[in-house]
Amino acid sequence: MGNKTIDKAKKYIMSTYASFPLVFDRGEGCYLYDDGGKKYLDFVSGIAVNALGYGHQRLIEAISDQTKKLTHVSNLYYNEPAVELAEKLSKHSGLDKVFFCNSGAEAVEAALKLSRVYCKKNKSKDAYKIISMKNSFHGRTFGAISATGQLKYQKDLDPMMPQVDFAEFNDLEDLKSKITPETAAIIVEPIQGEGGINTADIKYLKDVRALCDENKIVLIFDEVQSGIGRTGKFFAYQQYGVVPDIVTCAKGLGGGIPMGAIIAKDQIADAFTPGSHASTFGGNALSASAALVVVDELMEKGLIDNVVEQGNYLKEKLEEVKNKYPEIEEVKGTGLMMGVSLKGVTPIDVVKKAMEKGLLLVGAGSDVIRFVPPLIVGKEEIDEFIEIFISALEDLR
């Protein structure tokens, strides 16, 4: 059956992914099962999406119940799940107002637009430039990819959207050199995900916040991957004590149902007025109902504590592996957004070998494998992961 499905996919689906020859049929907890019944421990979780794993009963019931009542109405009207979710996102972010969309790229687009609109109204008609970081990743739509600091993602798309400058990550002096009176926004990932699990220095982010305040620049934190509990706080910036003007989120927010959002300070958010921006499906009742379960499990049911506990355990076990295996150069990240940089072996070889052994992994950057399991992961699954990971490294020697 799998071969037939894959053959059909190659015939009818555009080849934008170098997909592995696997067809998954179902999932349970932190495990996936292919259509042949083989079991895989999932440390990819839809690339940091399936926060509650697979078959989570509350999530299933919320989606089922909401589907029976209402899935979508236009944003010309209100729906209760979206309003409740906006309140919770405001509370847990320390920011004020929410705009809902469907994905991380759309959230970045909304953040870039909002920052420009705000600065045109409140700073200068000439304030429109964006500063992003080298090695960043912000999504695949045209504005988001233009603000992405990796040329490999921009191949054959040039010319990019103009007025985007790139600064070295964690280099304040380089950032200062890029700021002009025309600068509207600085966009930063507190932890660069696709770039290789690169963590911002605390002092750097605090200095960037001060620079933005001094120069009337909107500070955007892109937390599409690092947000919604992934690092052990609701947002990674809460680890730093630095609050942005706008934060983007998506991925884990819907627990596998498409859902994205930006959350902004009141004075910034007020720049959007009716007609400024829109999203047909943004904040639909189905997606919002799913997200409400994710947020509630994290912040009211104690799942965020599990992220801290298991994240510490995962880091401890990875450090033990590093001390025994010279193939691992560095353990990176925090919470359940971890990675290792490799030497003498390529990430793709490790990913393929682990897959043979029933473990799903994903690369990041040129030499990093990242580990982003469901947030429900426990010590038993982490021990199993370590065992298979070591076995894969051994086989590649």
Residue with the larger pLDDT of the pair 161 and 235: 235
pLDDT band at 340 (very low <50, low <70, confident <90, very high): very high
Domain-by-domain residue ranges, the chain? 2-56+302-395, 58-299
What pLDDT score was predicted for residue 37?
95
336 close to 311: Cβ distance less than 8 angstroms: yes
Specify the pLDDT at position 293: 98
pLDDT for residue 266: 98
Assign 1 a pLDDT band (cuts: 50, 70, 90). low
Q: Is the pTM of this model over 0.85?
A: yes
Nearest-CA neighbor of 351 among 324, 371, 326, 381?
A: 371
Per residue in 154-176, pLDDT (tens digit) is 999 988 988 999 999 999 999 99
Instruction: Report how far apart, in Å, the C-alpha atoms of 134 and of each of 146, 147, 209 are.
Output: 12, 9, 18
CATH for 58-299 is 3.40.640.10
Q: What pLDDT does 125 receive?
A: 95
Nearest one of 348, 329, 339, 360 to 396, comparing CA atoms = 348
2-56+302-395, which class in CATH? alpha beta
pLDDT of res. 150: 93
What confidence score (pLDDT) does residue 388 get?
98
27-42 pLDDT tens trace: 999 999 999 999 999 9
- Residues of the chain above pLDDT 70, percent: 99
311 pLDDT higher than 60 = yes
pLDDT digits (tens, 9 = 90+) for 65-82: 999 999 999 999 999 999
With helix as H, strand as E and coil as C, how does the chain read?
A: CHHHHHHHHHHHCCCCCCCCCCCEEEEEECEEEECCCCEEEECCHHHHCCCCCECCHHHHHHHHHHHHHCCCCCCCCCCHHHHHHHHHHHHHHCCCEEEEECCHHHHHHHHHHHHHHHHHHHCCCCCCEEEEEECCCCCCCHHHHHCCECHHHHCCCCCCCCCEEEECCCCHHHHHHHCCCCEEEEEECCEECCCCCEECCHHHHHHHHHHHHHHCCEEEEECCCCCCCCCCCCCHHHHCCCCCCEEEECHHHHCCCCCEEEEECHHHHCCCCCCCCCCCCCCCHHHHHHHHHHHHHHHCCCHHHHHHHHHHHHHHHHHHHHHHCCCEEEEEEECCEEEEEECCCCHHHHHHHHHHCCEECEEECCCEEEECCCCCCCHHHHHHHHHHHHHHHHHCC
The per-residue pLDDT for 2 is 67
| 29, burial (CB in 10 Å: exposed 0-12, middle 13-18, buried 19+) | middle
pLDDT-derived band at 3 (thresholds 50, 70, 90) equals confident
- Burial of residue 71, with CB atoms counted within 10 A of its CB: 0-12 exposed, 13-18 middle, 19 or more buried: middle
Q: Kindly list the catalytic residues.
A: 137, 222, 251
Q: How many CB atoms are closer than 10 A to CB 87? A: 11
pLDDT band at residue 386 under the 50/70/90 scheme: very high
